[in-house]
Amino acid sequence: MESGAVVLTGSNCSLSSLQLGDTRSATPQPLMSNLAVLGLQWGDEGKGKLIDLAAEHYDIVVRCQGGNNAGHTVRVGEEVYKLSLVPSGILRSEKTAVVGNGVVINPEALLHEIDSLRAAGVSIEKNLLISNRAHLVFPYHPMLERSSESTPGKRKIGTTSRGIGPCYEDKVARRGIRVAELLSTELFPQRFRSIAEEKFSVAEALGVAEQWDVEGALQLYQGYAERLRPFVADTGKFLNDSIRQGKRVLFEGAQATMLDIDFGTYPYLTSSNASAGGLCTGSGVSPRLLHEIVGVSKAYATRVGEGPFATELHGPGGDALRESGGEYGTVTGRPRRCGWFDIPLLRYAHSINHLSSLFVTKIDVLDYLETIPVCVGYRYRGSPLDWMPAISEEYAEVEPVYKEMPGWDRPTSGITDFDRLPRAAKDYIAFLEDSLDVEIGGVSTGPEREQTIIRQGSVLEAVVSA
Ligand code: GDP
Ligand code: IMO
Ligand code: MG
């Protein structure tokens, strides 16, 4: 399919400064107020890049779930920012970045991130808000996670070891401690002492107890409380008041649909709702106010940690894709498992999130390939399977059916005009678009802000322009 393109020019990448190519449809879509950006695979799709790009046109950027298991790398010129708990919108000084109630916060990690951003000259003081309802990660969370991840005979998930799962466990079991309680000099000491003693006994019984001093940890967290206090607010109220005043909100997804606690490859996933529903519960904003949802997918697939991955490429082929894509985890540095684009998986993710548009990243990573397999269907025990099985053990047995697409003979890296992509690359995008029945509104051709194609007339163009 031939389509138009928008060329990102200047370093600030203002879409008002874009040159327009041929159009897919002459009239831009109506612009709605609020936008969500979500990962569709197993994370690391390049959400941070699109959020940073789109943030220019929104007043507020809010993170809704996950914690410092997320790692979003954003490149702005020579600078490389690695964000984990702070929303990627923080890089634009006039925006408000909100850490919503659905996020689990390790205060030490958050303060470290704040300090690093300050040191890099990023304005924080008036730009960051932290929900008083967000739950906190304490030292016993990673300690207990080590037990579940290292006990022989127990199912290992390959987590990021940040205590995210145990913290969400406590939240759901109604024994968590939230930011508001941390700030209460009256409530916090008593609550922390009783929970910490209980956790320590559990850790001892499991044989994973480490030497730690409850009173020392209490004082440490009281210190964190004073540093965080200026940023803490009822962020649900702030977001709803702001929307009422006509402000536009960008919802920042972390992790991705296949890591979603309900819809992902259970139990090999994270402990929050990383698909569209989690954005509402994690921010306090009604689904009626979530207007457009843009999904982000790589032009191939990756996964970190354990769990089934139907199109995984083992051996030298997988190594070559990893090297071409620089596929090493931002948080843990682990090599990412690599494989081919999976149409049934993307159809499933599209169905759950009801996407307005799809942004395909890292097309340049495929430049070296002569042919590119794309998974167009699954077979399970000899029969075709057209939907994602609920059981991971079944999904692990699925055999992908591939269509070989021709590669392209020249680099796509840095191309900003869709029409300038090699013919075979345009065909590749058109094939994905037709197979998924959702517009591919943009294609990323490199890590930089300006290495981006936004297709004219697309919903994506409408939501990332003023
Ligand atoms: P996120 O977790 O979804 O925000 O993604 P990550 O930041 O963890 O991983 C994506 C990586 O790919 C980052 O290092 C980005 O700088 C990089 N990246 C994003 N888009 C592109 C692209 O189009 N081409 C290339 N080569 N790298 C990209
Ligand atoms: P972003 O936002 C990729 C994976 C871990 C592990 C599983 C559970 O950067 O896309 P957890 O520590 O959450 O209990 O680990 O989920 N995982 C991610 N993989 N990107 C992420 O975030 C991830 N966050 C968690 O590798 O397999
Ligand atoms: Mg990441």
Q: Whose CA is nearest to atom 14 of ligand 1?
A: 73
Domain presence at residue 277: no
Tens digits of residue pLDDT in 273-291? 999 999 999 999 999 999 9
For residues 225 and 310, membership in a common domain is answered with no
Cα gap 66→165, rounded to integer Å: 9
Q: Tell me: do 325 and 211 sit in the same domain.
A: no
Protein residues whose CB sits closer than 6 Å to any atom of ligand 1: 39, 43-49, 71-73, 75, 330, 361-362, 364-365, 444-447
Do 327 and 433 belong to one domain?
Answer: yes
Active-site position among 57, 59, 72, 260: 72
Query: Quick check: is 405 in a domain?
Result: yes
Pick from 77, 107, 382, 111: nearest CA to 218: 107
Per-residue pLDDT, 32: 58
Neighbour count for residue 371 (Cβ, 10 Å): 10
Compute the distance between CA of residue 347 and CA of residue 257 in angstroms, rounded to an integer. Answer: 11
Q: Is 254 in the pocket of ligand 2 (CB under 6 A)?
A: yes
Mutate to test the pocket of ligand 1, among 13, 44, 81, 451 (most ligand atoms within 8 A of CB): 44
What confidence category does residue 11 fall into, taking pLDDT thresholds of 50, 70 and 90?
A: very low
Q: For position 429, which CATH number holds? A: 3.90.170.10
How far is Cα 58 from Cα 33, in angstroms, rounded to an integer? 9
Count CA within 13 A, CB hemisphere, residue 141.
26
Please tell me whether residues 202 and 325 are part of one structural domain: no
Same domain, 208 and 303: no
Band (pLDDT 50/70/90 cuts) for residue 13 is very low
Per-residue pLDDT tens digits for 213-239: 899 999 999 999 999 999 999 999 999
CATH number for the domain harbouring residue 148: 1.10.300.10
Give residue 466's pLDDT.
Answer: 60
Does the pLDDT value for residue 24 go beyond 80?
no
126 in any annotated domain: no
- What's the rounded Cα separation, in Å, for the pair 421 and 453? 10
* Ligand 1 atom 9 nearest Cα: 44
- Provide the pLDDT for residue 203: 85
Q: Which of 200, 215, 232 is the last residue of a domain?
A: 232
Task: Answer yes or no: do 203 and 302 share one domain.
Answer: no
For residues 302 and 218, state if they share a domain. no
Give the separation between CA 299 and CA 424, rounded to whole angstroms.
13
pLDDT digits 0-9 by tens, 246-281 = 999 999 999 999 999 999 999 999 999 999 999 999
pLDDT value of position 21: 33
| CA of residue 44 to ligand 3 center, whole Å | 4
Q: Which pLDDT value is given to residue 147?
A: 84
Query: Atom 20 of ligand 2 has which residue's CA nearest to it?
Result: 43
Does residue 88 belong to any structural domain of this protein? no
Reported as half-sphere exposure (CB side, CA atoms, 13 A), residue 219 has a value of 4
pLDDT of residue 25: 44
The answer on pLDDT for 5 being more than 70 is: no
Q: Are residues 203 and 309 in the same domain?
A: no
Question: pLDDT tens for residues 424-453?
Answer: 999 999 999 999 999 999 999 999 999 999
In the predicted structure, residue 31 carries a pLDDT above the cut 80: no
Confidence of residue 332 (pLDDT cuts 50, 70, 90): confident
Structure tokens at 444: 């990323």
Task: State the pLDDT at residue 446.
Answer: 98
Q: What is the pLDDT of residue 201?
A: 87
Share of the chain above pLDDT 90, in %: 83
Known active-site residue 44: yes
Q: Looking at the predicted structure, is the pLDDT value of residue 306 above 60?
A: yes
72 catalytic? Reply is yes
What's the gap in Å between 176 CA and the centre of ligand 3? 26
Domain that holds residue 139: 135-232
Distance CA 415, CA 177 (A): 48
Residue 311: its pLDDT value, please?
98
Domain assignment present for residue 422? The answer is yes
Q: Is the pLDDT of residue 10 over 50?
A: no
Same domain, yes or no: 353 and 458? yes
Same domain, 226 and 323: no
Tell me whether residue 76 is in a domain.
no
Amino acid at the residue 430: A
- Which one of 209, 232, 255 terminates a domain? 232
Is residue 352 in a domain?
Answer: yes
Whether residue 410 sits in one domain with residue 321: yes
Ligand number nearest to the C-alpha of 270: 2
| Structural domain includes residue 391 | yes
Report the range of poorest mean pLDDT among 10-19, 33-42, 167-176, 228-237: 10-19
**Mean per-residue pLDDT over the chain, rounded:** 91
How many domains does the chain divide into?
A: 2
Position 182 scores a pLDDT of: 98
In this prediction, residue 3 carries a pLDDT of 37
pLDDT at 115: 96
pLDDT by residue (tens digit) across 45-76?
999 999 999 999 999 999 999 999 999 999 99
Percent of the chain at pLDDT exceeding 70: 93
Is the pTM higher than 0.85? yes
The domain boundary, picked from 195, 214, 232, lies at: 232
